[in-house]
Chains A and B, each alone.
Chain A
Amino acid sequence: MKSAVTITVNGEPRTAEVEPRTLLVHLLREHLNLTGTHVGCDTSNCGACTVWLDGEAVKSCTLLAVQADGREVTTIEGISENGDLHPMQWAFHEHHALQCGYCTPGMVMTAIKLLEANPAPTDEEIRHGLEGNLCRCTGYENIVAAVRAASGVTV
């Protein structure tokens, strides 16, 4: 049995027929070919699958696609405009905040929302804000630096 879902993804309405148990991340990746959103664990620990649902950062491996029916989803592919990088993406580039690049989309999606909620965070607040996104390459040092730079706060 399949259900039809209609989700506005990166501003475009998209419809798909999915099994009710289909995870949102699999809808995005396998039905809509938006492969920038990654899967890194089975347990909602790593945050590689982070997207925005109605403007809030969520882990798309923890939501069913049907739960997103009628709502708006933004993925990493949808945050830059006219080919220009989002300021957070620039900050990651300029501060060498990525190595293998696998956690990067989820990290960027979380970091943007972190600054929306707290535009001038301390380093400690940045670290706690990123707690749900794991990176095994960078030691987080340059990710924290990038988020700080994107906030415009100098230390």
Chain B
Amino acid sequence: MATTAEHAKGIGVAALRKEDRKFLTGHGRFVDDLKLPGMLHMAIVRSQFPHADITGIDTAAAAAMPGVTAVLTGDDLEFAAGVPCASNPTGDMVHPVRPPLAKGRVRHVGEPIAVVIAGDRYAARDAADAVEVSYAELPAVLDVEAARADGAPKVHEELDSNVALLLTHRTDGIDDAFSKADVVVEHTIRNQRLIHVPIETRGVVADWNTANDDLVVYSSTQVPHFLRTFLAIVCGVSEAKVRAIAPDVGGGFGSKLNAYAEEFIAAAASRKVGAPVKWIEERSEAMLATCHGRAQVAHMQLAATKDGKVLGMRAHYVQDYGSYLQMLTPLISQLTFLMSPGAYAIPEVDVKVTNVYTNTVPTDALRGAGRPEATHAIERMMDILAGELGMSRTEVRRRNFPVEFPFTTAIGLMYDSGDYAKTLDRLLELSDDKETFERRRTEAAARGKLLGRGLSTWVEVCGFVPSDVARNALGLTPGGWESSTVRMHPTGKITVITGTSPHGQGHATSWSQIVETELGVPFDDIEVIHGDTAFAPYGLGTYGSRSVAVGGTAVHLAASKVRDKARLVAAQMLEASPDDLDFEGGAFAVKGSPDKRTTIQEVAFRAWQAFGMPEGVTPGLDETVFFDPPNCVFPFGAHGCEVEVDRETGKVEITGYIAVDDCGNVINPMIVAGQVHGGVVHGIGQALYEIAEYDSGGQLVTGTLVDYLIPSAADVPHIETYRTVTPSPTNPLGVKGIGEAGTIAASPAVVGAVCDAIGVRDLDMPLQPETVWNAIQKGGAA
């Protein structure tokens, strides 16, 4: 690899983003911005009950309304398969079949029952409201306790019970660890149900050209290639005739890592009516029908010596799947299971996950996807253990960090590289010493404010995933590789095509930096294409903090191949041996004769001409690489925060937040810091504000942004970001993911700080003022 210093915007530079201008000027192209000739609009009739048989659908009034083209039900649209799930952790898990439009029975409020296709969105919505659905209500189970009770109504009658799947892992010495421990601490920790809330909701434009049977689907998705494959399977059409396009995507956070009923319905409806069909999700629909996240309870026990060494962990997680399996529903609690020991060397474990169906919206990946749940549980337990031992929260952590890397956990994951004490030490250097803090705490108490501090030391598994691990350890349908093409044009400009599919992560910028470093071609001469299956080699998309470690590596390797081939052509041009050429600053030069040189742009032109090519070298500089990583990557860090709790109202204000993260080498530090900021605020949202709640009738009571609070600028603190650098040995760039780090780290640090402030062992999130005030009233605060 050429050195960084000679490249103005190569790897390691805080290059400003090339994608910004269109968004700043209002010229982004999101799904709802698309207009196709003859395009119609779709509105959806959704179930009003959590569990019911549909006894009739009267579409007559709706069909007669002005502007209405069609009213379609499950009987009108035929599908070759149900909504897909690509995860089967044990290999023998039964996947209930879910038709995209309900047939006969509905299992959660918001499930699609019928659609109206009309000339504009107002007419479509009006007519959808005029569709009369008759229901015979069935008893519903709305939480995991009710679903697991004896004689509970079953969400899926064909299954034995509402328990969908059990995962277990138990090491031989676990009972011994608990019997010889000096202390055992036990606690139940809840990760409440959350909603993703990207500011752009989902949206689809489906254009089925019935003359050729070609299908083009524009969707606000993180995974256009998966969508293409699933559209082919579910809609019963050749995959070679399907083109899926993710245009600009307004955030995802896992909610768009899916292939949804509505995407299939829009495609089938377009075929039925012979016109392009647009569906733009309303925010209230997004709350009601896009998958939710978290919804997991952890029953935890730690066994430890009196000097703080953890000997064993028992963890039983109970995961609410909701009513159906979305694309990766079973994977999420499986990731909790895998990351249950967190950043600690815990020699003996007994881990179990019970996954349960309920009559609620399906749960699936939400920023961090199973790892925030694992981290929150183990981090809260480390605080509780420290309290039990009378030891500092930092010390109990430090005594349990693994020291040698790679480190294989008792679950069997191999953490690739790390130096956990380094990030913790840096956090402590950046924080007030105990004396200073205690002085401020006393001062604050005099004005009715309770000060507290909290921390987390986190690690995550990301950079998904070696394909054989996907199959053998995770039970995923697809592998975990990624693709890239690097194409040099005759004029020396470069097109990079990536299989990743960004929705805010800045891949156009970062991938250009990787290519500039590798080929010496200026950043501004490099264009990055993504998100269109007609152009890109198959890509697995953007999720799970995988893009840079897997997709970025594919870009790097494709650029390397271009350079290797260019070397052969340059050698011919310079009449030298390929081994006698240096490559620097975008040019090949003969060793010892720096005047004998040719730029890579000149080589690209020659390779296009293909005049006098060396023996066996094909024309052009255009290389595609599929990269299958040898391991996942394991970024880590230490986050600390300080809170001020109002003793009278219970309101929490975060007054300081410091993030020290290590994601290995960094392509663009500005983008990395931005990912941490956003991630931390997402975690603060979970800790303090957000919760999705159903009432006893199965109705979502947090169905708008009035009821479901995501943080505003005024609700969150200034966030200080710092990094240490421990390169990953897993990929040649030495990089690890960072997109989910902040979310994984933040919630335990914030909850720990509030508990410290008011003097309680633990609190269930979100720490809204009422929760905190009640805890204070119960004698929490001295």
Contacts and interface: CB of A to CB of B under 8 A. Distances in A.
A139 B121 CA distance: 33
Contacts of A139: 676-682, 716, 719, 742
Interface in A46-63: 46, 48
A108 B24 contact: yes
Nearest to B20: A93
Nearest to A39: B32
Interface in B15-31: 16-17, 19-30
B499 to A, nearest CB: 19
Given A19-B122, A38-B250, A134 B199 contact: yes
B678 A137 contact: yes
A101 B704 contact: no
Contacts of A118: none
Contact of A141 (B201, B682, B710, B719): B719
A94 B678 CA distance: 17
Contacts of B122: 19, 21-22
Contact of B677 (A40, A127, A138): A138
A71 B673 CA distance: 42
B30 A136 contact: no
B394 interface: no
A153 interface: no
A40 B201 contact: yes
A44 to B, nearest CB: 9
Contact of A102 (B21, B200, B706, B711): B200
Given A35-B26, A40-B200, A42-B284, A100 B250 contact: yes
Interface residues of B, number: 60
A101 B681 contact: no
Interface string B480-512: 000000000000000000000001111000000
Contact of B713 (A85, A102, A105, A143): A143
Contacts of A42: 282-284, 704
Contacts of A5: none
Contact of B671 (A19, A29, A96, A144): A96
Contact of A137 (B17, B19, B33, B504): B504
A76 B20 CA distance: 14
A103 B678 CA distance: 14
Interface string B237-270: 0000000000011110100000000000000000
A94 B504 CA distance: 16
B25 A41 contact: no
A34 interface: yes
Nearest to A144: B713
A101 B23 contact: yes
Interface string B695-726: 00000000011100011111010110000000
Interface of B: 16-17, 19-30, 32-33, 35, 120-122, 197-201, 248-251, 253, 282-284, 503-506, 670-671, 673-674, 676-682, 704-706, 710-714, 716, 718-719, 742
- Give 5 closest A-B pairs by Cβ, nearest first: A36-B26, A101-B23, A102-B250, A100-B504, A139-B677
Given A134-B705, A135-B199, 5 more contacts: A22-B122, A89-B25, A127-B714, A139-B719, A140-B716
